[in-house]
Amino acid sequence: MGSNEAIRTYKKYIRSKVIIIILLAGATLLMMLVAVSLGSSGLSMTETILALFGKGTLQSNTVVWNLRLPRVVTAVAGGIGLAAVGCVMQNVLRNPLASSSTLGVSQGAAFGASVAIICLGAGLQSQTAEAITIINPYLISICAFTGSMLSTLVVLGLSRFRRVTPEAMVLSGVALSALFSGGTTLLQYFADDVKIAAVVFWTFGELGRTSWREIAIIAVVAALAFVYFLYNRWNYNALESGEHSAAGLGVNVDFLRLFSMIVCSFTAAVIVSFVGIINFIGLIAPHVMRKVIGNDYRYLLPASSLAGALMLLASDIVARMATAPVILPIGAITSFLGAPLFLYLLFRGVSHK
């Protein structure tokens, strides 16, 4: 009788978490539809749906497929990738503040982009237009990716060869963040106003600068990383109980931490190199879902990923509609929305366990 009751309790436990994930998936799909339908072009929901199936007018098809849908898909793929990365980083580093933006990945990318724009001439401002024109986005992306991975390699090198603790890895990430921020500031100090404006424009973060080719790269990298994380879900669950407990259960803790950090950093680097600096998504989404769904990585990973997509979609809607037709920087919106929420979580008591 006791066994049957335990089975029923476990099934109820599973069912509640699956329902939450299904609701998150449904909310994400609904938010995607809302995001595609909103904009300064004045398309109705019916016109938007027809355009999604290629049945709309030439204008509506162009607006939806060339302008709005790429932003929405970028937000979903980027939100999933950044949230999954933050969720895993917090586990393997045993630190609730771990994310790509606190480990120097984003700051390294900003430094790389600054080198491309200021030293290699990848960005300029048209003399007849108010907007900044990036003349070589691929060079900026390559340099941003190189800078972010350089930060990662330093942190991983300390971990591999000096055997530093997870806490020290986070502190080294903070130090590298300061170093790259200082380097970016020095580059800007010796640059002219036009190049400084281009650097600032890139660091704002912008979902609309990706084409379908870049979106495909982000989506594939995020999907492969998510599959790897989900494959190791039981290892992450074991690590929640402590390194010694995980090792006793047969988990190669050092390899898991090292390779997970490589996958996390590579994923974050790819996303940031294409869309710029987007803060707080990888930090906030896992913490919110821990409060709702618990620490079981079988469910926390997909829930955090969907929450990240949902948050980035919501931020993009605010960025596009708050001062339409002017589009606000997405990085500023995620910071404005994420910082108060994070302070609330800290007030309530945030933990990675």
82 vs 174 pLDDT, higher one: 82
> Does pLDDT of 133 surpass 70?
no
> Does pLDDT of 25 surpass 90?
yes
> Does pLDDT of 129 surpass 50?
no
Segment of 121-130, 247-256, 302-311 carrying the highest mean pLDDT:
302-311
CA 165 to CA 183: how far, in whole Å? 27
Segment of 213-217, 250-254, 347-351 carrying the highest mean pLDDT:
213-217
3-class DSSP assignment, residue 15: helix
> Does pLDDT of 246 surpass 70?
yes
How sure is the predictor about 306, in pLDDT bands with cuts at 50, 70 and 90? very high
Mean pLDDT, rounded, for 173-195? 89
> Does pLDDT of 132 surpass 90?
no
Please tell me the predicted confidence (pLDDT) of residue 326.
Answer: 82
Percent of the chain with pLDDT over 70: 92
Mean pLDDT, rounded, for 37-51? 82
> Does pLDDT of 86 surpass 90?
yes
Of the listed ranges 56-60, 187-191, 255-259, 331-335, the least confidently predicted one is 56-60
Bridging pattern class, strands 123-125 and 132-134: antiparallel
Neighbours of 157 (CB within 10 A): 12
Give all domains of the chain, ordered by start, each with its CATH number: 2-348 (1.10.3470.10)
> Does pLDDT of 88 surpass 90?
yes
CA 63 to CA 320: how far, in whole Å? 14
CA 349 to CA 353: how far, in whole Å? 11
Please tell me the predicted confidence (pLDDT) of residue 123.
Answer: 65
Phi then psi for residue 343, to 5 deg, are -60, -40
Burial of 244 (0-12, 13-18, 19+ CB in 10 A): exposed
Cis status, amide bond into 96, omega within 30 of 0: no
Mean pLDDT, rounded, for 139-164? 82
Please tell me the predicted confidence (pLDDT) of residue 185.
Answer: 93
> Does pLDDT of 1 surpass 80?
no
Task: Report the chain's mean pLDDT, rounded to a whole number.
Answer: 86
> Does pLDDT of 148 surpass 80?
yes
Neighbouring-strand partners of residue 123: 134
228 vs 251 pLDDT, higher one: 228
Residue in the block written with tokens 């393997």: 92
> Does pLDDT of 182 surpass 50?
yes
- 305, 80 contact by CB (below 8 A): yes
CA 112 to CA 272: how far, in whole Å? 11
Segment of 14-18, 161-165, 166-170 carrying the highest mean pLDDT:
14-18
Tens digits of residue pLDDT in 210-244: 889 999 999 999 999 999 999 999 999 999 888 88
Of the listed ranges 9-18, 42-51, 152-161, 270-279, the least confidently predicted one is 152-161
Please tell me the predicted confidence (pLDDT) of residue 45.
Answer: 83
How sure is the predictor about 337, in pLDDT bands with cuts at 50, 70 and 90? confident
- 168, 92 contact by CB (below 8 A): no
Token pair of 226 as six digits: 């998510």
Mean pLDDT, rounded, for 124-151? 72
Mean pLDDT, rounded, for 317-323? 87
